[in-house]
Structure 1
């Protein structure tokens, strides 16, 4: 009798852990898909069209942006960045090639990092975008960029 109860208990725990793992995997896939959707339909599109209203929906108001552009330090707050986007000719209006591509998305609980490459004007930006899920919405909270147009990228 004890053996039967022990087997039943272990079976329930095994099935329960399988269900938890399945739920975690489904949640991970859903979160990765949500971030991918944000990048494709709002981030890349907003940059390409110079649409600051659309871009504003992607960012947390306190977002900071850092990196280097043509070897020069780059540091802006969100307001400065959006003002720059607003006052430049958009890649769409310039007629020059534009490409945004997602290279990787890593999600851990309510945080995530997306690695993307954006080619526009004479720049090729390697970007690391930090996201945080706040009130059920994924928001970009930090942006790191490096212009790699004239440099080889070190692969992992």
Structure 2
């Protein structure tokens, strides 16, 4: 499988894990030292992946809440053993825009950084 397809497969697995709340699947996709940075409603967040996964485990998943699956990939770039993906993930009352940075390791592609924002929306 070409790198581009491998990255797309990882993103599909990421969406599945987030949508269903499958922290085991998500943990397998992230480097154990990955960091998560974000901004929601003007508040900044920074946490290691372990804390992010604890939050996913503690909440009801979008699937449990009967939310429609509307997540999509907006673009990816693969350059040798690094890649980035720009994603759209509307869920849990937010319109998340996010970037994943990936690195290819001996075991395959892993997410090494997640950066996201849920901008304030004018109502």
Q: TM-score by structure 1 length?
A: 0.74
User: 1 CA distance for matches of 2:108 and 2:57?
Assistant: 25
User: 2 CA distance for matches of 1:35 and 1:149?
Assistant: 30
Quote the offset at 1:97 in angstroms: 2.8
User: 2 CA distance for matches of 1:77 and 1:98?
Assistant: 26
| 1:38 aligned partner | 10
Larger helix fraction of residues? 1
Quote the offset at 1:96 in angstroms: 2.2
Quote the offset at 1:88 in angstroms: 0.3
1:142 to 2:113 alignment: yes
What does 1:68-87 correspond to in 2, within 5 Å? 68-87=39-58
Of 86, 93, 117, 1:122 maps to 93
Quote the offset at 1:98 in angstroms: 3.3
Q: Confirm or deny: 8 A CA contact 1:118 1:125 kept in the other structure.
A: yes
| 2:35 aligned partner | 64
Quote the offset at 1:87 in angstroms: 0.4
Q: Which one has a bigger Cα radius of gyration? A: 1
Deviations 1:25-50 (A, max 9, x none): xx8xx11111101111x100000110
Q: Confirm or deny: 8 A CA contact 1:123 1:149 kept in the other structure.
A: no
Moved over 4 A (4+): none
1:133 to 2:109 alignment: no
SS in 2 for 1:150: coil
Q: CA RMSD in A?
A: 1.4
User: 1 CA distance for matches of 2:29 and 2:19?
Assistant: 14
Q: Confirm or deny: 8 A CA contact 2:42 2:119 kept in the other structure.
A: no
